[in-house]
Structures are given as C-alpha cells and as structure tokens.
Amino acid sequence: MPETLNLTVQAETVEFPATNYVFIERIGNIPANAPQAWQAVLKFAPVLMQRNQITGAAALYKPDQGIYRAGFMLAAPPVNLPAELTYEKFHGGKYARFTLTGPFDQLPEATRRAFEVVAEKKIPLRDAFHIEHYLTDPNTTPADQNVTAILFPAV
C-alpha cells in the first residue's frame, strides 16, 4: 500500500441523482459486513443483467446505525428481481464528495480520513445514507486506477 492516499481532501458539493437501486443489506459491524454483502450481491449481477441495465455500483450506509447496503444502480425499476435482493428508489440529494483514486482496499483508510476532514471543517450533515460510488469497473480497471466517490449527506 502506498504511504499516502490519493484522496481529495477538499470536499466538493454535488447533487447525487435519484436512482433505481437494488441491494443486499447487512446490519451490525460495517467493516466486517461490507465484504460479505459484496460477495453476496455480486453473485446476482449475471442474472440482473439478463433483464436489467446496470449503470453502476454503490454502497449506501449509515455508520451510526450500522446499516450497510451493497448494490447496483439500474437504468429503470428492476424486472424479475431475485427474491434475495431489495429494490428501492433512492432519491439522491446534496452531498459533500471526496474522491479516492486507488485500490478498493484503501477505502477504509480513505473513509476514515474523509470523516476527519468533515469533522475538522465542521461540514453539516443530514440524516441520510452515506455513499461509496464506484466510478470504475474493477474487472476492467487496474487496481491503482480505480476511482471511488466517498459522499457525505450534506445539509
């Protein structure tokens, strides 16, 4: 792992769009549950792609409540959704965005650092899901070139 993170530390205010979101949810210890949730949801990608257009992947989480959702963004409401997945129309909204360029295994450290910046700069947050929006496909992108938006629900 590199000595420094390639993480923007100046939050950029953005509007995250409303999206159709299908996911697997885990409650409890987020660092422990996140890998398990992704292993579970990734198994459904081939089935989803048969009748749905996947437009991206994202994790939605509420750290104070231990809620973690691993899932896919779809172009439209899902067709023939497997029973193990949940669908929700995510309404989006205003977010403070930090961007990590690098391997996904740097996400815990990058997220901790982003939380520190939010606290240091006293960025006001609303009660909504935080988001990790994976902007590159790890199947086609070298690990050190992956790009993830780390988004905090801003007031």
Residue 51 within a domain: yes
φ, ψ for residue 52, nearest 5 deg: -140, 150
Rounded to an integer, the average pLDDT of 134-139 is 92
Question: Whose structure tokens read 């496909």?
Answer: 137
More reliable by pLDDT, 74 or 2 = 74
Q: What is the number of domains present in the chain?
A: 1
Per residue in 52-90, pLDDT tens? 999 999 999 999 999 999 999 999 999 999 999 999 999
Can you point out the beta strands (E) in 17-146?
19-27, 54-62, 67-74, 86-90, 93-101, 130-134
CATH number at residue 70: 3.20.80.10
Asked whether the predicted pLDDT for residue 3 surpasses 80, the reply is no
Q: What is the model's pLDDT at position 1?
A: 42
How many degrees, rounded to 5, is the angle at CA 118 between CA 117 and CA 122?
A: 115
Rounded to an integer, the average pLDDT of 103-109 is 93
More reliable by pLDDT, 51 or 138 = 51
Closest to 13 (Cα-Cα) out of 123, 113, 101, 90 = 123
Asked whether the predicted pLDDT for residue 4 surpasses 90, the reply is no
Q: Report the alpha-carbon distance of residue 144 to residue 45 in Å, rounded.
A: 24
Residue 26 within a domain: yes
Mean pLDDT taken over the chain: 95
At 70, is the secondary structure helix, strand, or coil? strand
Residues 6+ apart with CB under 8 A from 52: 74, 75, 76, 78, 79
Q: Report the alpha-carbon distance of residue 59 to residue 109 in Å, rounded.
A: 16
Q: What is the model's pLDDT at position 39?
A: 96
| % of the chain with per-residue pLDDT over 70 | 98
CB 31 within 8 A of CB 66: no
| Residue 43 domain boundaries | 14-153
Q: What is the model's pLDDT at position 70?
A: 98
Residue 3 within a domain: no
Q: What is the model's pLDDT at position 139?
A: 87
How many degrees, rounded to 5, is the angle at CA 140 between CA 41 and CA 132?
A: 50
Asked whether the predicted pLDDT for residue 37 surpasses 80, the reply is yes
At 145, the pLDDT band (50, 70, 90 cuts) reads very high
Residue 95 within a domain: yes
